Amino acid sequence: MTETTSPGPAVGMVFLVGAGPGDPDLLTLKAERLLKATDVLVYDQLVSPSILALVPATAERIYAGKERGNHTIPQEKINDLLVRLARAGRTVVRLKGGDPYTFGRGGEEVHTLRENGVPFEVVPGITAAVGVAAYAGIPLTHRDHAQACVFVTGHLKDGTMNLDWPGLARKRQTVVIYMGLHGLSHLCEKLREHGLPDDWPAAIVQQGTTPRQRTITATLATLPDLAAAAKLRPPTLIIVGKVVTLHERLAWFVEQVTAGDKEP
Ligand code: SAH
C-alpha cells in the first residue's frame, strides 16, 4: 500500500473515461454504463453533446475544457478538483475526448489521485487516430504501404515543433499528428527537409466521425495551402504516408463537403 500524502477519508471514486472521437456509437459499453450512473461529470471540450446527453439530468456537470491558448481550468486545478470531489464521497466520471492516455493528460490526473489515495479506474476510448482513420477510409498500417505507425503531437512551442524529424521522415511508415493544424506548414516543410518527397501523400481530417467530417487529401507540398483555403474547423487530424492514397477507394462515410467552406 502506498502512503497517502495527506490524511482524510477517500471514500469516493474517479473513473477516467475515454469518450472516443465524436460519434457516440464509438463509446465503449463500460463508458456508457458509467455515464448513465454518474453523480458528477467533469468533461472536456472534445466531448460531443450527444454523449453528454447520456448523463442523468440530476448529475452535476463541471466543464474543464481547454481550447488552444484558452485554458478554462488549469491542469493542476482539475487534478485537485477530482481529489476534492472524491474526498467528498462522490462518484466522478472524468470524461475525455478519445482515449484518456493518448495526448490527454490522463496520466497526470491519475498520478495526483494515486498520490492522494483516491481510488480510480481508467476506461480506454477510441483515440482520434484510430477512429478518424477508419471513418476517412485510411487503413493506417496497410501492409502494402506501412510497417509502422507513429502518433505525435504537433503542438507548437515557441513557434516550433521539437520532434524527431529523421525518425518521422521515413518511408513505409504512417505518421499521425494530433494538434497539428496551427503548425501544418512547419510540419510539412520539416518532413520534406528531412527527405520525404514533395509529392508524399498527406491528409487532414476535420471533425472526424461526426456529421461535419471533411477530408482533404494532398501532398506535403500542397496540403498547407489547401487546408488554409478550406477554413477547417477544429479538431483536425493530420495523416502523412502512402496509406493516404487509399482514401480515394476506401472512403465510406458520407462527408459534408461544404462544411468547411462556410464561416461558423
Ligand atoms: N485524447 C484524445 C486526444 C486529445 S488531443 C484522443 O485520444 O483522441 C486533441 C487533438 O486530438 C485535436 O487537436 C485533434 O488533433 C485530435 N482529435 C480529437 N478528436 C478528433 C476528431 N474527431 N477529428 C479530428 N481530430 C481529432
| Ligand 1 mean position, distance from CA 110 (Å) | 20
Give the pLDDT mean for 51-75.
84
Give the pLDDT mean for 110-134.
97
Answer yes or no: is the C-beta of 236 below 6 A from any ligand 1 atom.
yes
- Decide if pLDDT at 261 tops 60: no
Answer yes or no: is the C-beta of 135 below 6 A from any ligand 1 atom.
no
Instruction: Give the rounded percent of residues in the chain with a pLDDT score beyond 70.
Output: 90
Give the pLDDT mean for 18-33.
97
- Residue 125 pLDDT grade (very low, low, confident, very high; cuts 50, 70, 90): very high
pTM of the model: 0.92
Answer yes or no: is the C-beta of 214 below 6 A from any ligand 1 atom.
no
| Ligand 1 mean position, distance from CA 106 (Å) | 14
In whole numbers, what is the pLDDT of the chain averaged over residues?
91
Catalytic residues: 44, 66
Instruction: Give the rounded percent of residues in the chain with a pLDDT score beyond 90.
Output: 83
Per DSSP (E only), the strands in the chain are 13-18, 40-43, 60-63, 66-67, 70-71, 91-96, 120-123, 148-153, 173-178, 201-206, 214-219, 236-240
Domains of the chain: 13-123 (3.40.1010.10), 128-262 (3.30.950.10)
Per DSSP (E only), the strands in 73-229 are 91-96, 120-123, 148-153, 173-178, 201-206, 214-219
- Decide if pLDDT at 84 tops 60: yes
- Decide if pLDDT at 89 tops 90: yes
Going by CA atoms, what residue is nearest to atom 16 of ligand 1?
178
Residue 50 has which C-alpha cell? 450527444
Going by CA atoms, what residue is nearest to atom 24 of ligand 1?
236
Give the pLDDT mean for 86-95.
96
Answer yes or no: is the C-beta of 208 below 6 A from any ligand 1 atom.
yes
pLDDT at 159: 78
| Ligand 1 mean position, distance from CA 137 (Å) | 17
Residue 8 has which C-alpha cell? 482524510
Neighbours of 195 (CB within 10 A): 12
Rounded CA gap, 93 and 17, in Å? 7
pLDDT at 131: 98
Rounded CA gap, 96 and 7, in Å? 29
- Residue 66 pLDDT grade (very low, low, confident, very high; cuts 50, 70, 90): low
- 49, 51, 56, 61: CA torsion to nearest 10: -60
Give the pLDDT mean for 102-121.
95
Answer yes or no: is the C-beta of 20 below 6 A from any ligand 1 atom.
no
- Decide if pLDDT at 9 tops 70: no
| Lowest-confidence segment of 61-70, 106-115, 120-129, 205-214 by average pLDDT | 61-70
| Ligand 1 mean position, distance from CA 251 (Å) | 20
Using most ligand atoms within 8 A of CB, pick from 23, 122, 237, 253 the residue to mutate for ligand 1: 237
| Lowest-confidence segment of 89-93, 153-157, 174-178 by average pLDDT | 153-157
Give the pLDDT mean for 20-47.
96
